């Protein structure tokens, strides 16, 4: 937003997905057009059944999995990498909402009384919110002439040497490991279970 080139890295692939999505401004009309295309892909989707991790059945009922598979299939049909990542980020956010996860808990806990929302409606509601926020982001960057300022995110281990020239960085912001960092992985476990380790997603 301030016009500074930035580079980020995290060992968690979901963190990389979210960060790169939030720092990549997409032309608003492009997202609107792909939203319509997504709905066409969704309506024409065959009955698909992906090979999921066994833990998926613990968190989701069969009907919800089938519906999420259909949404996932439609997203994967999108060829534009930035747009597909945007939709995958919305899908990732929607997984916990459509699962048996107790929404108020930061730990993986089953909510036996939870009423599962309709996955497509829940997905579109969140994606439309993301589309509106992207438009604000894009508009402000465009007004300041900063649409082409690079903000790149890498999936990397912080213990490894980072490929940058010495004395080329003005500011480093870091979050060192802490004793409860395992909860961070727990919070993203549904996305990791669903996406696996597919580099096309992250």
Q: Kindly list the domain boundaries of the chain, sorted by start residue.
A: 6-195
Q: What is the pLDDT of residue 54?
A: 92
Who's near 5: CB < 8 A, 6+ residues apart? 149, 150, 151
Distance separating alpha carbons of residues 75 and 83, to the nearest angstrom: 9
Region for 121 from its dihedrals, namely left if φ exceeds 0, alpha if ψ lies in -120 to 50, beta otherwise: alpha
Give this prediction's pTM.
Answer: 0.91
Helix (H, G, I), strand (E, B) or coil at 10: strand
Mean pLDDT over all residues of the chain?
Answer: 90
Instruction: Measure the CA–CA gap between 121 and 111, rounded to whole angstroms.
Output: 21
Tell me: the pLDDT tens digits for 129-143? 999 999 999 999 999
Structure tokens at 134: 């992207």
pLDDT digits over 83-116, tens only?
A: 999 999 999 999 999 999 998 877 888 999 999 9
pLDDT in tens, 35-89: 999 999 999 999 888 899 999 999 999 999 999 999 999 999 999 999 999 999 9
């Amino acid at each position: 937003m301030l016009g500074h080139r930035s580079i980020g890295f995290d060992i968690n692939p979901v963190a990389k997905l979210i960060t790169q999505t939030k720092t990549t401004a997409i032309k608003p009309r492009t997202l609107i057009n792909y939203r319509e295309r997504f709905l066409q892909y969704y309506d024409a989707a065959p009955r698909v059944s992906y090979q999921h991790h066994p833990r998926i059945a613990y968190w989701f009922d069969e009907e919800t999995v089938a519906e999420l598979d259909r949404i996932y299939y439609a997203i994967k049909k999108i060829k534009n990498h930035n747009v597909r990542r945007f939709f995958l980020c919305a899908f990732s956010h929607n997984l916990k909402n459509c699962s048996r996860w107790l929404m108020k808990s930061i730990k993986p806990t089953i909510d036996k009384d939870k009423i599962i929302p309709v996955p497509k409606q829940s997905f579109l509601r969140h994606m439309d919110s993301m589309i509106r926020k992207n438009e604000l982001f894009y508009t402000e960057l465009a007004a300041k002439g900063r649409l082409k300022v690079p903000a790149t995110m890498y999936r990397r281990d912080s213990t490894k040497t980072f490929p940058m020239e010495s004395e080329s960085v003005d500011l480093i912001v870091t979050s060192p490991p802490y004793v409860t960092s395992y909860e961070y992985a727990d919070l993203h476990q549904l996305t990791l279970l669903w996406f696996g380790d597919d580099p096309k997603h992250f």
